């Protein structure tokens, strides 16, 4: 993956590649300690035990660091996604699908607290950086796929809507996980799974026949 710019091609040496990794690690640590805005490039450089000048040899600006970090996350998260949308996962009952997906994603999140920052940076009128946007879109698409496999009769609109609600519900709980001890975390996660199940279950094919009885008064908005 070389930068395709008209500027001189930089042929990284082993040390350079290593440096990039260590900068990203430092950035991850500093971001999750101080947040994106408070994290200065000098802080990141210091954490990586290099000079500011060295940092700027590998990244043109602060934004590029976030981009690279998001790209790295995207790559690592693909493993989790694959387990969620694999052919085996596709045939799992909804309960188990939810269970495995949430557990996998939560484990990843707990291991990479800075991921939350990238996800939840929503400055109005300021569009997300492209890599982060791609990350968000990918999660949504995967969930949509899982829903489609289990409820193929749904319209594309409804599918996307359901995936959107599900993803946002999940994401909204993430910040709480970091402020909780293990017991509270387990409670929260169980409740999150319950909410997701109750929301998604009525969408499933086999249940389409009797949901009207269960949710009869639900024509709340037309």
Contact (CB, 8 A) for 48 and 39: no
**Among 45-53, 101-109, 175-183, 192-200, the segment contacting DNA (CB under 7 A):** 45-53
Least Å distance, CB 125 to DNA, is 15
173 binds a second copy (CB under 8 A): yes
Please select the residue that binds a second copy; options are 1, 111, 125, 156, rule is CB under 8 A: 125
Which of a second copy, DNA, none does residue 118 bind (CB under 5 to 8 Å by kind)?
A: none
Q: Give the tokens for residue 213.
A: 């009885």
Q: How many CA atoms lie within 13 A of 130 on its CB side?
A: 2
Which residue number, 6 or 222, has a Cβ lying nearer to DNA?
Answer: 6
Query: What residues numbered 23-52 form the site for a second copy, per CB under 8 A?
Result: 32-35, 37-38
Contact (CB, 8 A) for 66 and 25: no
Least Å distance, CB 3 to DNA, is 11
Contact (CB, 8 A) for 69 and 28: yes
Q: Give the tokens for residue 171.
A: 């994401």
For residue 209, which phi and psi values (nearest 5 degrees)?
-75, -35
Contact (CB, 8 A) for 133 and 127: yes
Which residue number, 16 or 175, has a Cβ lying nearer to a second copy?
Answer: 175
Q: Give the tokens for residue 58.
A: 């590998």
Which of DNA, a second copy, none does residue 187 bind (CB under 5 to 8 Å by kind)?
A: a second copy
16 binds DNA (CB under 7 A): yes
Which of DNA, a second copy, none does residue 88 bind (CB under 5 to 8 Å by kind)?
A: none
The CA distance from 61 to 184, in Å, is 39
Which residue number, 49 or 127, has a Cβ lying nearer to DNA?
Answer: 49
Least Å distance, CB 17 to DNA, is 7
The CA distance from 97 to 84, in Å, is 7
């Amino acid at each position: 993956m070389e930068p395709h710019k008209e500027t001189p091609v930089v042929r990284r040496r082993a040390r350079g590649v290593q440096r990039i990794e260590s900068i990203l690690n430092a950035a991850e640590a500093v971001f999750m300690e101080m947040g994106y805005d408070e994290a200065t490039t000098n802080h990141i450089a210091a954490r990586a035990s290099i000079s500011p000048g060295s940092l700027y040899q590998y990244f043109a600006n602060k934004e590029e660091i976030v981009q690279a970090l998001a790209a790295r996350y995207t790559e690592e998260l693909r493993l989790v996604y694959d387990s969620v949308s694999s052919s085996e996962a596709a045939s799992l009952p909804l309960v188990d699908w939810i269970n495995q997906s949430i557990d996998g994603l939560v484990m990843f999140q707990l291991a990479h607290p800075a991921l939350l920052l990238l996800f939840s940076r929503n400055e109005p009128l300021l569009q997300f950086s492209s890599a982060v946007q791609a990350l968000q879109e990918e999660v949504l698409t995967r969930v949509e796929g899982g829903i489609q496999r289990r409820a193929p009769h749904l319209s594309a609109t409804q599918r996307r809507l359901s995936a959107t609600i599900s993803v946002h519900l999940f994401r909204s709980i993430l910040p709480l996980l970091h402020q909780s001890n293990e017991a509270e975390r387990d409670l929260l996660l169980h409740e999150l799974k319950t909410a997701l199940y109750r929301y998604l279950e009525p969408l499933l094919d086999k249940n389409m026949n009797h949901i009207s009885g269960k949710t009869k008064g639900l024509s709340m908005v037309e």
